[in-house]
Structure 1
Amino acid sequence: MALQQRLDLRQTQALVMTPQLQQAIKLLQLSNLELSEFVEREIEQNPLLERDDGERWRDAPPDGVDRPEPEAPVPEGRTRDTVELAASDRIAPAADAPLDTDYENVWTNSSQADIREAGDGGEAFGSWSARGGSFEDDEGSLEQTLTGRITLRDHLEQQIVMDMPDPLDRLVARALTDQLDEAGYLTADLAAVAEQLGCPAVRVEAVLARLQKLDPPGIFARSLKECLALQLRELDRLDPCMQALLDNLPLLAGRNIPALLKACQVDAEDLADMVAEIKALNPKPALAFDHAPVQTVVPDILMRPAPGGGWIVELNTDTLPKVLVNQRYYARVSGAARNRTEKEYISERFQQASWLVKSLHQRANTILKVATEIVRQQDAFFLHGLQFLKPLILRDIADAIGMHESTVSRVTTNKFIATPRGVFELKYFFTSAIAGADGQAAHSAEAVRYRIKSLIDAEKPDDVLSDDKLVEILRAEGIDIARRTVAKYREGMKIPSSVQRRREKVLGL
């Protein structure tokens, strides 16, 4: 068969992932912090992008003050920024929203009005100081009132200097301090420390014994048993019975009460008192000096009750990056381009900037649309509590709003909503279903866990519920669940078995 060349014309359909589409998908799954970092990088790389940090000056500037000119009307074809695109006149009216969505932003913030009134001549932002030529209060800036919090090393160093006059002992003490972990335990081998410092191991042990008497109690321990013993010795409660309890901590962790009674040679009442003293101790004494800042979750969506019933769902504008495409600068540099390379570069940057603004607008609308549908379907949860949480999957939301499941999955990743019942990740509302008994409606797995915990918390010492009894109660309430599923949920919530709970309740643990 002879080989030959020929030309064919074919018409096919294929999905092409353009760079713009890839960027839109990437922006959809970013959290608000990741999105802010991404936008900052784009602003650094694209000279046509700029961040809108505040409102334009609308009033005539006073004499001697140079302020930006009022924004000119947007010409035809101009690419608007994300704030303009999310304005109420460009989004569907509230009447078309599935759940009273607050597209019109009818809520009025009194603090914003106060700020505007202060801008007309008030003193909300401090007064001009002739001393330093800056806006400062008479009492000084906020930075001057801040104080640093003492660290564990500084706290121990102060005690070492006072307690150990010998320079060699101080050297050994500082070397042992460097070997503390974040909980305050000594992780180094004393023989290795002695060899490294070139001093006798007996001296290192003597210094360690003195260090273990410092504050906080339990510091420089080498095990949990030693940490608890140091604290009990400080309280003068390390008697032989308590020492026997410390020697059998695995039995205490396993709640083996009969073995503990035999090992400690005490009755049940004394054992309950000893266990209560153990619980009052601090197993990680160094954590009191852990001053790492707590990272609070900033919600992407805000939700509140509507005056006439229902819910108002709106985006948190503080998490939306306000990006502008500088049209004036684009017109200036495009007209001054000297060759084709410069024109192509400017045109490419303008297209990237315009597409970024549109992608941000699309991302905001998609998040709002998905969150609104989740609130609508989980309305009973927000009204009555966790026991009314409905089973929900991604397909339910995707079919309701006409999107793909993968899009809903990206939207609900690392996105949080502030509700009257707390701040939740959007993924929280998607739970598996447990079939209802006798053809009843299915129940959410999270609601079933909550019901199991509620039943166990309400049980009496003389009527501890076994897993079989829990199954009977749940089936009587219309929840068809197996015993192994109840045991799995109970163990997942770190709840001991009925035998262990009965022992604890009898001893009052």
Structure 2
Amino acid sequence: MLGQRQELRQGQGLVITPQLQQAIKLLQLSNLELEAFVEAELERNPLLSREDAEPGGDAGDAPVEAAPADRAEMTFEDGRASDGADAVDARSDEIYGDAAPGERSSDRAEDGAQPGLNDWSRSGSGAGMVDGEGREQPDTRELSLWEHLQLQASQAGFSPADLGIALTLIDAVDEGGYLRGELAEVAERLGVDLARVERVLTVCQGFEPTGVMARSVPECLKLQLVERNRYDPAMEALLDNLDLLARRDLPALRKVCGVDGEDLAEMIGELKALTPRPGAGFGGEPAQTVIPDVQVRADPAGGWKVELNADTLPRLIMDKRYHAAVSTGARTDGDKTFVAECAAQASWLVKSLDQRAKTILKVSSEIVRQQDAFLAFGVEFLRPLNLKTVADAIGMHESTVSRVTSNKYVSTPRGVFELKFFFTAAIQATDGGASHSAEAVRRRIKTMIDGEGGDGDILSDDRIVELLQEAGIDIARRTVAKYREALRIPSSVERKRMARTG
């Protein structure tokens, strides 16, 4: 029989309050998005004002609640952290919770994953936006040119160091798809040879759209012609003399290209079919100037000093005296409810901004501590690092760390980087000891192969695996093959053939 009845059940569940949703949203916003959000709140809430502005009414000496101090910092000496302004405390759980909702499986790095960053190539996807029920929604907007290039770089088989070089170069690409900036400056900033930067650029210039990351119009057109197998000495001469083409000096062009009028007309037609601005038609928002959220500088006493960028911190206050005045003047229930909601929202927003700043500083400081060798010696010294390592070290949830590192930038002596730049894959040790960076293993493989002698000394991939495991490095054969191919080293069969033929 069917019937109705009442039952009482007891259970546990995670309730996502509107305040927690707001705190999560604030944490993952970039500083530009946060500024827009704060402006909207200032217009909506009469009890909020900027700290450097006059509060509503005659505030006088009225007590106010304010956002955090703009000089919160941490210093590192000999690998130890010390608080510069009591900026880091244990109150993050009060806002973000011990087990933040919606953690993505990609937040956890797997040892066998592609060397590089932890699925951050889709910029801003470290944590999706939170809907009204607390569920994280995927970012369905069209990828920008830079995100598209970052995604390809993360899948290109780069070593962690080369991936860092590639991402630095991608940051210097303009809206048209051209690389703006000197390679020598990039090499000096990252502490690597210029030849290595040029090799990475060559790989990046093979990304889609064809012609991207060229340094000039002729180079952009050349990349497209090479892909079409139409780049020959005559076309090279034409690209070297585009000024003559602009002046329509066809006789001079026929002479320098060594072709007749019909061939020249065909060549010019081929150029017209190319795209001089390969990135112009790509989706996404135009590039915006990056303003770092965190600044890292060398401490004269040794180590590094990490501090928040005061220019990116909204300084809000709630005027309690004005609140008292409007509360007294409220006559209807609707007015009283509106004033109470504004007061609660203002108080929570100020508190959330405070904790957001402290959480960013806390995560950034741990990343700097983990990657201090990179700051001192260059990109070759990036350590294996994932979200879980940072989260465990500072007592936060991985999803919170993921949100902090999305769309947040740090200014260092080696340049400005997104925080997710510092996360690189690791290869586990066979004895359970410290992990080995993928770059270090890659270099060890190259050293082994460089030390090969004659035909009988050629090392197969299986033999390389055995030697690495004897050295305490747990690695699969397919990973060795992938690293060898990324280094452009032929297989053992090809190397034996080459050794026989001299």
Runs of 5+ unmatched residues, structure 2: 88-175, 177-208, 212-219, 241-255, 264-270
Give the paired residue count. 341
Higher relative contact order (CA 8 A, sep 6+): 2
Residue type at the aligned position of 1:25? I
In 2 relative to 1, CA 489–35 (structure 1 residues): closer, same or farther, beyond 3 Å? farther
2:353 matched to which residue of 1? 360
2:82 matched to which residue of 1? 100
Q: Is the 8 A contact 1:391 1:442 kept in 2?
A: yes
1:33-432 alignment runs, 5 A limit: 33-52=32-51, 54=52, 72-75=60-63, 78=64, 80-84=65-69, 99-103=81-85, 224-225=228-229, 231-232=235-236, 234=238, 236-237=256-257, 286-287=276-277, 295-432=288-425
In 2 relative to 1, CA 94–351 (structure 1 residues): closer, same or farther, beyond 3 Å? farther
Distance 1:69 1:456 in 2: 76
Residue type at the aligned position of 1:28? L
Distance 1:437 1:239 in 2: 64
Residue type at the aligned position of 1:73? D
Q: Is the 8 A contact 2:234 2:257 kept in 1?
A: no
2:169 matched to which residue of 1? none
Shift of 1:444: 2.3
Q: Is the 8 A contact 1:224 1:283 kept in 2?
A: no
Distance 1:388 1:74 in 2: 52
Q: Is the 8 A contact 1:303 1:313 kept in 2?
A: yes
Distance 1:499 1:239 in 2: 46
Cα deviation 1:394-421 (Å, max 9, x = unaligned): 3332222222222222222222222233
In 2 relative to 1, CA 226–51 (structure 1 residues): closer, same or farther, beyond 3 Å? farther
Cα deviation 1:13-67 (Å, max 9, x = unaligned): 5432211111111211222222222222222322322334x478xxxxxxxxxx9
Q: Is the 8 A contact 1:300 1:315 kept in 2?
A: yes
Distance 1:349 1:389 in 2: 47
Distance 1:2 1:436 in 2: 62
1:481 matched to which residue of 2? 475
Distance 2:279 2:385 in 1: 43
Residue type at the aligned position of 1:383? A
Shift of 1:452: 6.8
Q: Is the 8 A contact 2:429 2:472 kept in 1?
A: yes
Shift of 1:7: 9.3
1:16 matched to which residue of 2? 15
In 2 relative to 1, CA 5–342 (structure 1 residues): closer, same or farther, beyond 3 Å? same
Distance 1:472 1:239 in 2: 59
Aligned mate of 1:436, from 429, 434, 444: 429
Distance 2:221 2:413 in 1: 42
Q: Is the 8 A contact 1:219 1:286 kept in 2?
A: no
Runs of 5+ unmatched residues, structure 1: 57-66, 106-150, 152-181, 185-215, 244-280
Shift of 1:70: 10
Q: Is the 8 A contact 1:48 1:350 kept in 2?
A: yes
Aligned Cα RMSD in Å? 5.6
Secondary structure of the corresponding residue to residue 100 of structure 1 = strand
Distance 1:31 1:361 in 2: 15
Residue type at the aligned position of 1:393? N
Q: Is the 8 A contact 2:318 2:346 kept in 1?
A: yes
Secondary structure of the corresponding residue to residue 434 of structure 2 = coil
Distance 1:282 1:474 in 2: 53
Residue type at the aligned position of 1:232? E
Q: Is the 8 A contact 1:183 1:286 kept in 2?
A: no
Secondary structure of the corresponding residue to residue 287 of structure 1 = coil
Distance 1:400 1:427 in 2: 17
Secondary structure of the corresponding residue to residue 390 of structure 1 = coil
Residue type at the aligned position of 1:286? P
Secondary structure of the corresponding residue to residue 16 of structure 1 = coil
Shift of 1:94: 10
Distance 2:5 2:227 in 1: 80
Distance 1:218 1:395 in 2: 45
What TM-score do you get using the length of structure 2 for normalisation?
0.52
Residue type at the aligned position of 2:394? I
Rg bigger for which structure? 1
Secondary structure of the corresponding residue to residue 309 of structure 1 = coil
Distance 1:219 1:436 in 2: 42
Distance 1:41 1:71 in 2: 23
Shift of 1:356: 0.9
Shift of 1:361: 0.7
Cα deviation 1:137-193 (Å, max 9, x = unaligned): xxxxxxxxxxxxxx9xxxxxxxxxxxxxxxxxxxxxxxxxxxxxx989xxxxxxxxx
Distance 1:73 1:501 in 2: 82
Distance 1:44 1:368 in 2: 28
Q: Is the 8 A contact 1:303 1:420 kept in 2?
A: yes
Distance 1:4 1:217 in 2: 75
Secondary structure of the corresponding residue to residue 21 of structure 1 = helix
What TM-score do you get using the length of structure 1 for normalisation?
0.51
Q: Is the 8 A contact 1:380 1:389 kept in 2?
A: yes
Distance 2:426 2:223 in 1: 48
In 2 relative to 1, CA 373–346 (structure 1 residues): closer, same or farther, beyond 3 Å? same
Distance 2:494 2:410 in 1: 37
Residue type at the aligned position of 2:427? I
Distance 1:393 1:355 in 2: 31
Q: Is the 8 A contact 1:50 1:323 kept in 2?
A: yes
Give % identity: 48
In 2 relative to 1, CA 335–365 (structure 1 residues): closer, same or farther, beyond 3 Å? same
Shift of 1:344: 0.5
2:111 matched to which residue of 1? none
